[in-house]
């Protein structure tokens, strides 16, 4: 998509990969300092050795220090940090442990609708029960605790709901939860003894000026010891999103709070079977949590690159929202964060009939037509879940701005033609 990697991150990983480069004058001193620190944490000073299954110690320390800075001093313990193979590995692993040993009735896992399909896939693989709660599209995809309660109490009739998954900022919906909403969710989890699973991989991707990312952990701490000592929480981060976009490295971490020691034992066992997360991904994660600071040689370039990516994404988020909302029969909530638009599309009755005749979901029919006529590939809302009778698609805002404009123009022309054809 044209987004360039952060130079400093790649320099450090290259130095770790081929330590002969530590003598090269073409690498800045601060990148060498980071590389030496990482290599000292590696068995035999090599990225090629297995690390501890939980991840390299000094990187877990850097993650904990990052979380403390991010959360204004809320304590973070490296012992609670687990490096993972991307966030999805952490999420799937913790779900596996929470779902097993459920007793007579099957474990329910509450997930937002729309959701990122990793959740439905993992739940189905584990033979658990997917318990849907609906985000409020009329209210900018807000999470409403009354809806959580409805969802939970209905589910209790047929399963044992134990886990509440939150995606903040939302994927595919892009909303950023406010502090009050997070407090309500935490209170609800505390009241109902639910394990909170906070997918916070888009924590650096917040664009709306009146929005701010609050970590679940920070709010949990600030709600006082009754919550802080009792609510079980796992939160996730990754090298794949933010301003770094290093998906291929499969770097990530999870932080767990109040995990029962027996569960922790199971977690360590299950992680050991897979040996360790990729060590180069661990190194990449280290740079995300331990980037250049003011006064260091690489700081200026790092900040320039980081802000360029984030400002660009913010601009594209606004552009996408505006252009969608100019199209007849399309409504798009503000893209407060993450990397996607999830506009609601009006599909005429005739098109719905036609889709049924083709044994397709109506939005799948729409997306296939869009693909055939324009070459643009977007994902139908039915892949993420949506309220019965509503239709959406998900589109990333990652293409370069000039391409994105052309692309949105094409979607518009297609959409108008589609409406005409099936009206």
Tokens of 322: 């505006």
Least distance (Å) between residue 12 CB and a copy of itself: 9
Which of 35, 81, 122, 129 binds a copy of itself (CB under 8 A)? It is: 122
156-195: which residues touch a copy of itself (CB under 8 A)? none
Q: What is the dihedral of CA 296, 300, 305, 306, to 10 degrees?
A: 70
Closest CA to 259 of 251, 271, 247, 267: 267
Kind of pairing between the strands at 330-331 and 344-345: antiparallel
Least distance (Å) between residue 181 CB and a copy of itself: 29
Q: x/- contact string, 138-157, with a copy of itself (CB under 8 A)?
A: --------------------
Which of 41, 51, 83, 214 binds a copy of itself (CB under 8 A)? It is: 51
Assess 22 for contact with a copy of itself (CB under 8 A): no
Phi, psi of 283 (to 5 degrees): -65, -40
Assess 44 for contact with a copy of itself (CB under 8 A): yes
Are 217 and 197 in contact, with CB atoms under 8 Å apart?
Answer: no
| Percent composition of the chain: helix, strand, coil (DSSP 3-state, to 5) | 50, 15, 35
275-334: which residues touch a copy of itself (CB under 8 A)? 275-281
Assess 18 for contact with a copy of itself (CB under 8 A): yes
Separation between Cα atoms, residue 233 and residue 111, nearest integer Å: 15
Task: Give 133's DSSP letter.
Answer: E
Least distance (Å) between residue 248 CB and a copy of itself: 3
Question: How many residues does this entry show for the chain?
Answer: 423
Least distance (Å) between residue 69 CB and a copy of itself: 25
Separation between Cα atoms, residue 300 and residue 148, nearest integer Å: 45
62-121: which residues touch a copy of itself (CB under 8 A)? 85-86, 88-89, 92, 96, 117-118, 121
Bridge partners of residue 165, in order along the sequence: 197
- Give contact residues for a copy of itself (rule: CB under 8 A): 1-3, 5, 10-11, 13-14, 17-18, 20-21, 24, 26, 42, 44, 46-51, 85-86, 88-89, 92, 96, 117-118, 121-122, 125, 240, 244-250, 269-270, 273-281
């Amino acid at each position: 998509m044209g987004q360039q990697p952060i130079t400093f991150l790649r320099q450090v990983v290259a130095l770790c990969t081929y330590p002969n480069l530590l003598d090269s004058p073409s690498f800045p001193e601060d990148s060498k300092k980071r590389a030496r620190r990482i290599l000292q944490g590696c068995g035999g000073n090599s990225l090629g050795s297995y690390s501890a299954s939980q991840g390299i110690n000094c990187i877990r320390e850097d993650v904990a220090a990052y979380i403390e800075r991010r959360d204004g001093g809320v304590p973070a313990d490296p012992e609670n940090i687990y490096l993972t193979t991307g966030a999805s590995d952490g999420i799937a692993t913790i779900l596996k442990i929470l779902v097993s040993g459920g007793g007579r009735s099957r474990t329910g896992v509450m997930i937002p609708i729309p959701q990122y399909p990793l959740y439905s896939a993992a739940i189905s693989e584990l033979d658990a029960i997917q318990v849907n709660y609906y985000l409020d599209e009329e209210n900018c995809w807000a999470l409403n605790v009354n809806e959580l309660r409805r969802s939970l109490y209905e589910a209790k009739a047929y399963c044992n709901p134990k886990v509440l998954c939150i995606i903040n900022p939302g994927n595919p919906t892009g909303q950023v939860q406010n502090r009050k909403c997070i407090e309500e969710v935490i209170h609800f989890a505390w009241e109902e003894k639910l394990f909170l699973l906070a997918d916070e991989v888009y924590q650096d991707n917040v664009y709306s000026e009146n929005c701010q990312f609050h970590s679940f952990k920070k709010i949990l701490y600030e709600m006082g010891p009754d919550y802080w000592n009792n609510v079980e929480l796992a939160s996730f981060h990754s090298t794949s999103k933010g301003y770094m976009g290093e998906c291929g490295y499969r770097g990530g971490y999870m932080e767990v709070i109040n995990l029962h020691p027996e569960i922790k034992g199971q977690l360590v066992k299950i992680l050991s079977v897979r040996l360790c997360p990729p060590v180069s991904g661990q190194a990449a994660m280290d740079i995300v949590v331990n980037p250049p600071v003011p006064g260091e040689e690489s700081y200026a370039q790092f900040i320039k690159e980081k802000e360029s990516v984030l400002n660009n994404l913010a601009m594209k988020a606004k552009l996408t929202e505006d252009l969608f909302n100019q199209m007849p029969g399309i409504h798009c909530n503000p893209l407060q964060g993450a990397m996607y638009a999830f506009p609601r599309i009006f599909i005429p009755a005739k098109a719905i009939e036609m889709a049924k005749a083709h044994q397709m979901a109506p939005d799948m029919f729409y997306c296939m037509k869009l693909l055939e006529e324009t070459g643009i590939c977007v994902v139908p809302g039915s892949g993420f879940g949506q309220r019965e009778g509503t239709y959406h698609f998900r589109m990333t805002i990652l293409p370069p701005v000039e391409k994105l404009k052309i692309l949105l123009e094409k979607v518009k022309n297609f959409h108008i033609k589609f409406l005409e054809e099936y009206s």
